Amino acid sequence: MTHTYLVPLLKILVLLNAVLVSVTFMTLLERKVIAWVQVRLGPMRVGPYGSLQPIADAIKLLLKEDITPVRADRFVFTLAPIVSMVPALIAFAVIPFDREATFFGYQVPLVIADVNVGLLYLVSITSIGVYGIILAGYASNSKFPLLSGLRASAQLISYEIAITMMLVSVVVMAGTLSMTGLVDAQYNARVWYVFVQPLAFVILFIGGLAETNRAPFDLPEAEQELTGGYHTEYSGMRFALFFLAEYANMIVVSGVAATLFFGGWLRPFPNVAALWILDYIPGWMWFLLKTFVFLYVFIWIRATLPRYRYDQLMRLGWKVLIPLAIANLVVTAVLKVLL
Amino acid sequence: MLESLVFYTLAALIIGFGVLVVTTRNPVHCVLCLVANFLCVAMIFVLLAAEFLAMIQILVYAGGIVVLYLFVVMLVNLRRPPDARMDGRRQTRFGFVLVALLLTEVSAILVYSAAHPSSLVAVAPQRPAVGNAETIGMLLYTDYLVPFELASMLLLVAMVGAIVLARKEA
Amino acid sequence: MTPITPYHYLVLSAALFAIGVLGVMVRRNIIIILMSIELMLNAVNINLAAFSYQLHNAAGQVFAIFVVAVAAAEAAVGLGIILAFYRNKETLNIDDMNIMRW
């Protein structure tokens, strides 16, 4: 009884709380990192060195006036931020933080649901996340958000193809769709998959940037384009939900990249016994470290690169990434059969 | 016990959203009800131990086909307001008669087959040795290879056809 | 509570199919008619998956995957036709789509 219902429920509670707190403090991280890149200090007033800024932001957004446009579709207008946030949160159900950890004498695997189609679940949930943007653009009953919403969703579904092919390349090498199985395959192969398939990792990362609407692919939500994109008419907490969903998506993409290409919870050189001292750091801490590095790279890229124009963006997705992805997949499959 | 609860809830949701799809005026609400319907059908597939099919259902149907429908609904509704008039020329009575005939026939078949169980009787369901994806993969690439290749040709032809049809005459 | 037999799934599938047929007969908007056809295809998929579960043969699920692929192709081409038609005639009412009839 305990094991079937109580343990997963506790895991869900802990994970959801951790994720929601992380995305609020990611706003602070982003502002600080971009500020330091631009040789300024960022938020410094609230709390020591500005560390309580997200709490001030949350209070401000909760107290803002909740405006709904006239003649907007009220039901869809309220639904769009929810449809944006929920897939970002439920994608965490299959991300493995560690193989097993011991809590109060129980051995619990640190993954909520280790389904044997875990990777396919992630791709499906990502494709559901497109709806939030389209519905937000439609429900605002205004030309600019509608066009921006259609553009953004076209961008998302274009880059989904490249991402899915890269995930398939990794699956071809590992032979399993389950996320913990993928990390085990990297342990058995004695090498992280990033060294075997660097191109797949690069394409996955670029696709992940486009999927989460991050710079340099953030045309749909930039303030200078189409007067603010698909969330122009949103204010207060609904506006915040869109951005929290984006940060949650970023954490998911970072977690997936860490699991698939960088060994998940494995320490560097997991089969080398001479580095036994690294074993004192628990697996989930390695995983969080790798995820944090990718998040930092996301923010670093945003601070550095200029924005792509829409036609350049689509050309990159269809004419550059998809042929490269297909080539990578074919070469992987052929080499897997021959070797 | 839990399986019955989940099944009846999902069945009620599927039928409810299906009825909403065929009765809602606003096409965008119709599409949203369709998405909810597809997600509930995917959960039914998980109940039937077909998790690969469930993920394919979400990925292709709910995440691809319905997005396509949503795009077309918005591109077509862009200039016109949603029409509030009732459709004048629909054939409601004939539709209901046809559905009643269909349901009668199907329930007759069901009752007959329940009364005369054939030799293909259900055994206690056991978990297969390999996962669902591996089983389908084995079948798809050995026994059903020709239909698989034909399906890929069909998708290629459909892709070319859709591009040609939707292209503006330059 | 009676255990869930495959008959339950067949009844659900029949009901969903009937709702799809009702949608095709009653609605006049061509896009909603296409969506009702997708409902019918889903009903068939539930049927196939239920029989695959009962007979422990994954061929039912393989067939269901083919149905999904064909539905995707049909949706793409059908919506392309609708878009091309709409550009010429500015209507979505299926009763007005009678160009070939005199």
A332 band by pLDDT with thresholds 50, 70 and 90: very high
Whole-number average pLDDT of chain A: 88
Sorted by where each starts, the structural domains of chain C and their CATH numbers stand as 6-96 (1.10.287.3510)
**Cα separation, A216 vs A206, whole angstroms:** 10
Asked if C96 is an interface residue toward chain B (Cβ–Cβ < 8 A), one would say: no
How far away is chain C from the Cα of B35, in angstroms, using its nearest Cα? Answer: 10
A8 band by pLDDT with thresholds 50, 70 and 90: confident
A215: pLDDT strictly greater than 80: no
Long-range (24+ apart) CB contacts under 8 A made by B7-15 are B7/B44, B7/B47, B7/C4, B7/C8, B10/B40, B10/B43, B10/B44, B10/B47, B11/B44, B11/C8, B11/C12, B13/B37, B13/B40, B14/B40, B14/B41, B14/B44, B14/C12, B14/C16, B15/C12, B15/C15, B15/C16, B15/C19
For residue B132, the model assigns a pLDDT of 81
The region of weakest confidence among A155-169, A307-321, B65-79 is B65-79
> In sequence order, what are the residues at sequence separation of 6 or more whose Cβ sits closer than 8 angstroms to the Cβ of residue B107?
C14
pLDDT tens column, A180-200? 999 999 988 888 999 999 999
B35: pLDDT strictly greater than 90: yes
Angle at A306 (CA atoms; ends A303, A311), nearest 5 degrees: 140
For residue B112, the model assigns a pLDDT of 85
Which range has the top average pLDDT, A41-45, A300-304, C96-100?
A: A300-304
C75 with B69: Cβ contact below 8 A? yes
| Helix, strand, coil tally for chain C in percent (to 5) | 80, 0, 20
Give the pLDDT mean for A159-170.
93
The region of weakest confidence among A8-17, A67-76, A304-313 is A67-76
Q: Which residues of B are less than 8 Å from C15 in CB distance?
A: 15, 18, 103
How would CATH label the architecture of B1-81? Up-down Bundle (1.20)
pLDDT tens column, A98-127? 888 777 777 788 888 888 899 999 999 999
Report which of residues A305 and B88 the model is more confident about: A305
Q: Which residues of B are less than 8 Å from C66 in CB distance?
A: 147, 151
B122 band by pLDDT with thresholds 50, 70 and 90: low
**Cα separation, B27 vs B84, whole angstroms:** 11
How far away is chain B from the Cα of C55, in angstroms, using its nearest Cα? Answer: 6
How far away is chain C from the Cα of B157, in angstroms, using its nearest Cα? Answer: 8
Q: Where are the domains of chain B?
A: 1-81, 126-170
Report which of residues B126 and A71 the model is more confident about: A71
B92 band by pLDDT with thresholds 50, 70 and 90: confident
B74 with A146: Cβ contact below 8 A? yes
pLDDT tens column, A11-27? 899 999 999 999 999 99
Which chains border B (3 or more CB–CB pairs < 8 Å)?
A, C
Residue among C81, B34, A271, A29 nearest C89 (CA): C81
Give the pLDDT mean for B126-154.
84
- Say which of A120, A131, A157 has its CB closest to residue B55: A120
For residue B90, the model assigns a pLDDT of 64
The region of weakest confidence among A249-258, B95-104, B143-152 is B95-104
pLDDT tens column, C73-91? 999 999 999 988 888 888 8
The region of weakest confidence among A43-52, A131-140, B87-96, B142-151 is B87-96
Percent of chain A having pLDDT more than 70? 98
A254: pLDDT strictly greater than 80: yes
For residue B88, the model assigns a pLDDT of 58
Residue among A183, A95, A118 nearest B132 (CA): A118
A334: pLDDT strictly greater than 60: yes
For residue A38, the model assigns a pLDDT of 92
A219 band by pLDDT with thresholds 50, 70 and 90: confident
A223 band by pLDDT with thresholds 50, 70 and 90: low
pLDDT tens column, A171-185? 999 988 899 999 999
How far away is chain B from the Cα of A127, in angstroms, using its nearest Cα? Answer: 5
Q: Which residues of C are less than 8 Å from B51 in CB distance?
A: none
For residue B109, the model assigns a pLDDT of 85
Q: For CA atoms B47, B48, B49, B51, give the dihedral sign.
A: negative
Interface of A with B (CB under 8 A): 73, 75-76, 79, 115-117, 120-121, 123-125, 127-128, 130-131, 134-135, 138, 146, 150, 153, 157, 176-178
pLDDT tens column, C32-52? 999 999 999 999 999 999 999
How far away is chain B from the Cα of A291, in angstroms, using its nearest Cα? Answer: 25
Helix (H/G/I), strand (E/B), else coil: A108: strand
Whole-number average pLDDT of chain B: 84
Give the pLDDT mean for A243-247.
91
Q: Which residues of C are less than 8 Å from B64 in CB distance?
A: 72
pLDDT tens column, A120-150? 999 999 999 999 989 988 888 787 888 888 8
For residue A137, the model assigns a pLDDT of 87
B76 band by pLDDT with thresholds 50, 70 and 90: confident
Q: Which residues of C are less than 8 Å from B132 in CB distance?
A: 58, 61
> In sequence order, what are the residues at sequence separation of 6 or more whose Cβ sits closer than 8 angstroms to the Cβ of residue A257?
A201, A204, A205, A208, A294
Locate the chain C residue with the closest alpha carbon to B31: C35
B116: pLDDT strictly greater than 70: yes
The DSSP code for C93 is B
Report which of residues A160 and A71 the model is more confident about: A160
Chain centre to alpha carbon of residue A289? 15
Locate the chain B residue with the closest alpha carbon to A127: B63
Task: Give the helix/strand (H/E) hosting A101.
Answer: strand A101-103
For residue B124, the model assigns a pLDDT of 46
pLDDT tens column, A264-304? 888 887 777 777 777 788 888 899 999 999 999 999 999 99
Six-digit token string for B16: 């409810």
